[in-house]
A and B are shown apart, each in its own frame.
Chain A
Amino acid sequence: MNWFKYSSPQSFFPLAGKLALWFGALAAIACAAGLYIGFFVAPTDAQQGEAYRIIFIHVPAAWMSMFLYLVMAFWAGLGLAFNTRLSGMMASAIAPTGALFTFLALWTGSLWGKPTWGTWWVWDARLTSELILLFLYFGFMALQAAIDDPRRADKAGAVLAQPRPCQGPDHGGDDADRNGRDGIRLLVLQHRSRTDAGALHHARARTRK
């Protein structure tokens, strides 16, 4: 089967229309099943009580927000390199969904934080970097909205999205210190992808704690 015939918007659109209904139904079923298991089947947590159940929405939302950013950057980059219109359309379509997941992750995170840590927000590495990710999505969408010519909008968005994946949130693991300025220092030190010196200082920071 010649997949490349679907790389033009004209042939892809009818196919997408046909499949959208099926994917939507599948998503609704999976969502319902997941929520049921999360809210009713999973046992109560020993320390956090019932409040922990929001983790079943929060963690997938956070994971999706980061994953979608990489997917968006990938398709935008592909569109820039091979001058394909559909790749650009894909990236533009992913952006609002990614932003929505990021917002969900931040919001459900706050709702989880209040009963468990006692505060709605804390300026630690993970929350701050998730917030920055939201701004990155908004920037991408704003840039595309400001440009009239769709081809220029695709290419400009692609250039914007590229440096970011290596700057994106880096979940250093659960032993990361959650509160205060130590977290900020860890954010600094977690930018391993920028420099090797970072790895060395990361080790120093751990021992210093």
Chain B
Amino acid sequence: MGKKAGTPSLEAVDLHCTRGERKLFGALNFTLHGGGLLRIGGVNGSGKTSLLRIACGLLEPTRGEVRWAGENIRRLQEEFWRQLVYVGHANSIKDDLTAAENLYVACTLAGTRVEPARIGEALRSLGLAGCENLPARVLSQGQRRRVALARLALSEAMPLWILDEPFAALDAAAIDCVQRLVIEHVSRGGAAMLTTHLEAQIAAAATLRIDLEGN
């Protein structure tokens, strides 16, 4: 996976993060180009989620900045978020909406226009055929996670994917499916950044790896 022209790169410059009284990491630098897959490793509590949130712009680093295409993301704001898909720890799924409605809302908020047909397709590709019109309340943990990840199947246009533990609570078939989505995305020239404990195909595909020690 070489650097593909066209996708801007995500640069972290001298990132420091202190949460409460704990210093999580300091002087962190990396550059993620298009076509690259960055894997963040580290023990629990080492700051992986904080790093992902800083990269998204949800959290402000204690020092340092994150740049997209050379510009500080805090200045870009919506322009940067238009090109980003973030799937966090929490599923962002409303219990009282159906799987299809949840996916539709998620895409509309992200600025992607989707036809209902494609929503059904995306849910089916993650093994949720038949669950489209069930309220999320009755779905299992794994199924809810898959609804959250179904966004990825509709996000080819977004160059940057940031995923926090995407494989948590998934069974083998779903893990394969999501891995395939990520690898396809990266081979198309997109950039992806994720945290996972899974030592499998995805680890081999990673072009860049950062391990946080934690204090």
Query: Direct A–B touching in the complex (beta carbon < 8 Å)?
Result: yes
3 sampled A-B residue pairs with Cβ under 8 A: A148-B20, A149-B19, A149-B20
B contact residues, range = under 10
What is the minimal beta-carbon distance from A49 to any residue of chain B, in angstroms? 58
Residues on A with C-beta less than 8 A from B20 are 148-149
Complex interface residues of chain A between 122 and 181 (CB less than 8 A to chain B)? 148-149
* CB closest residue in chain B, given A83: B60
**The 3 residue pairs across chains A and B that have the minimum distance between CB atoms:** A149-B20, A148-B20, A149-B19
Complex interface residues of chain B between 2 and 47 (CB less than 8 A to chain A)? 19-20
Residues on B with C-beta less than 8 A from A149 are 19-20
Q: Mark B143-186, 1 if CB is under 8 A from A, else 0.
A: 00000000000000000000000000000000000000000000
The dominant DSSP class at the A interface is loop
In whole angstroms, how far apart are the Cα atoms of A10 and B36 in the complex?
A: 43
In whole angstroms, how far apart are the Cα atoms of A159 and B57 in the complex?
A: 20
Residues on B with C-beta less than 8 A from A148 are 20
What is the minimal beta-carbon distance from B61 to any residue of chain A, in angstroms? 12
In whole angstroms, how far apart are the Cα atoms of A198 and B20 in the complex?
A: 46
What is the minimal beta-carbon distance from A175 to any residue of chain B, in angstroms? 51
What is the minimal beta-carbon distance from A138 to any residue of chain B, in angstroms? 26
What is the minimal beta-carbon distance from B49 to any residue of chain A, in angstroms? 16
In whole angstroms, how far apart are the Cα atoms of A148 and B19 in the complex?
A: 11
In whole angstroms, how far apart are the Cα atoms of A149 and B18 in the complex?
A: 11
What is the minimal beta-carbon distance from A19 to any residue of chain B, in angstroms? 28
In whole angstroms, how far apart are the Cα atoms of A149 and B19 in the complex?
A: 8
Complex interface residues of chain B between 45 and 61 (CB less than 8 A to chain A)? none
Complex interface residues of chain A between 92 and 144 (CB less than 8 A to chain B)? none
Residues on A with C-beta less than 8 A from B19 are 149
Q: Mark A32-57, 1 if CB is under 8 A from B, else 0.
A: 00000000000000000000000000
In whole angstroms, how far apart are the Cα atoms of A148 and B20 in the complex?
A: 8
What is the minimal beta-carbon distance from B57 to any residue of chain A, in angstroms? 16
In whole angstroms, how far apart are the Cα atoms of A6 and B19 in the complex?
A: 25
Q: Mark B84-124, 1 if CB is under 8 A from A, else 0.
A: 00000000000000000000000000000000000000000
What is the minimal beta-carbon distance from A134 to any residue of chain B, in angstroms? 32
In whole angstroms, how far apart are the Cα atoms of A148 and B21 in the complex?
A: 11
In whole angstroms, how far apart are the Cα atoms of A149 and B50 in the complex?
A: 15
* CB closest residue in chain B, given A149: B20
What is the minimal beta-carbon distance from A92 to any residue of chain B, in angstroms? 17
In whole angstroms, how far apart are the Cα atoms of A110 and B89 in the complex?
A: 56
In whole angstroms, how far apart are the Cα atoms of A149 and B20 in the complex?
A: 6
In whole angstroms, how far apart are the Cα atoms of A101 and B19 in the complex?
A: 35
* CB closest residue in chain A, given B20: A149
* CB closest residue in chain B, given A152: B20
In whole angstroms, how far apart are the Cα atoms of A6 and B20 in the complex?
A: 24
In whole angstroms, how far apart are the Cα atoms of A59 and B153 in the complex?
A: 68
What is the minimal beta-carbon distance from B43 to any residue of chain A, in angstroms? 23
What is the minimal beta-carbon distance from A11 to any residue of chain B, in angstroms? 19
